[in-house]
A and B are shown apart, each in its own frame.
Chain A
Amino acid sequence: EVQLVESGGGLIQPGGSLRLSCAASGFTVSSDYMNWVRQAPGKGLEWVSVIDIGGSTYYADSVEGRFTISRDSSKNTLYLQINSLRAEDTAVYYCARGWGATGYWGQGTLVTVSS
């Protein structure tokens, strides 16, 4: 059974950094496209980033240069390094498996950026 479990969220001050993790089971993270999608409180979904099977990475314009997606096959875990955090980065961050149409999602981890 495919499972995705995010962790690493919390309360962080503006300008700070955070690393989110997504532990996968039931498949290997390097065998499929892996995404991060976020949702600000009361708002819609925003695609953030993807890492493809070959390791190429792509980002939304709003996070380019501040966020870095990566994976560790030995730990079967996906990561999102978030730097220079802003209030508008406050959101639930979901990891999701798949190219484009993502059929498997984690439960999300909440990141709150506030002083």
Chain B
Amino acid sequence: DIQMTQSPSTLSASVGDRVTITCRASQSISSWLAWYQQKPGKAPKLLIFKASSLDSGVPSRFSGSGSGTEFTLTISSLQPDDFATYYCQQYNSYPWTFGQGTKVEIK
């Protein structure tokens, strides 16, 4: 199985900060990577698919990059609505797997 490792596990930041979350795969997954945002008590929301494609309606301050084994999610200017937990997920091969999550907290 492909293991997905996110860093950091927790991130403290202020409104307006540029934030970067890293996701590493234990083997190459090409660009078959998605990023999700989840708020407490809610279902996850898809942000990015195929490593860098923004899902419909997602603000342009979110961006994704990478291929192979290393990927990043960047929020260019953190907004109050962005404090949440973020997950990466590989869908290159079964079983699909998620990273452990990165919680973005208010500094």
- Decide whether A and B assemble into one complex: yes
Chain B interface SS verdict (over half): loop
B11 at the binding interface (Cβ < 8 Å): no
Classify chain B: how many residues form its interface, as a range.
20 to 34
In angstroms, Cα B38 to Cα A107, docked, is 12
A54 at the binding interface (Cβ < 8 Å): no
A67 at the binding interface (Cβ < 8 Å): no
The 0/1 profile, CB within 8 Å of A marked 1, for residues 94-105 of chain B is 111111110000
B44 touches A105 (CB 8 A): yes
Residues in A with CB closer than 8 Å to B98 are: 44-47
B83 at the binding interface (Cβ < 8 Å): no
Known: A100-B34, A101-B34, A105-B43. A44 touches B100 (CB 8 A): yes
A103 touches which one: B46, B50, B87, B101 (CB < 8 A)?
A: B46
B49 at the binding interface (Cβ < 8 Å): yes
B87 touches A100 (CB 8 A): no
The 0/1 profile, CB within 8 Å of A marked 1, for residues 30-49 of chain B is 00101010100001111011
B46 touches A45 (CB 8 A): no
A1 at the binding interface (Cβ < 8 Å): no
Residues in A with CB closer than 8 Å to B91 are: 99-101
A60 touches B95 (CB 8 A): yes
B95 touches A45 (CB 8 A): no
Residues in A with CB closer than 8 Å to B36 are: 45
In angstroms, Cα B89 to Cα A37, docked, is 12
B55 at the binding interface (Cβ < 8 Å): yes
Residues in B with CB closer than 8 Å to A94 are: 43-44
In angstroms, Cα B96 to Cα A50, docked, is 9
Min CB distance A63 to B, Å, is 9
Residues in B with CB closer than 8 Å to A107 are: 43
Instruction: Report, nearest first, the 4 A-B pairs whose CB atoms are least far apart.
Output: A100-B91, A101-B49, A101-B34, A105-B43
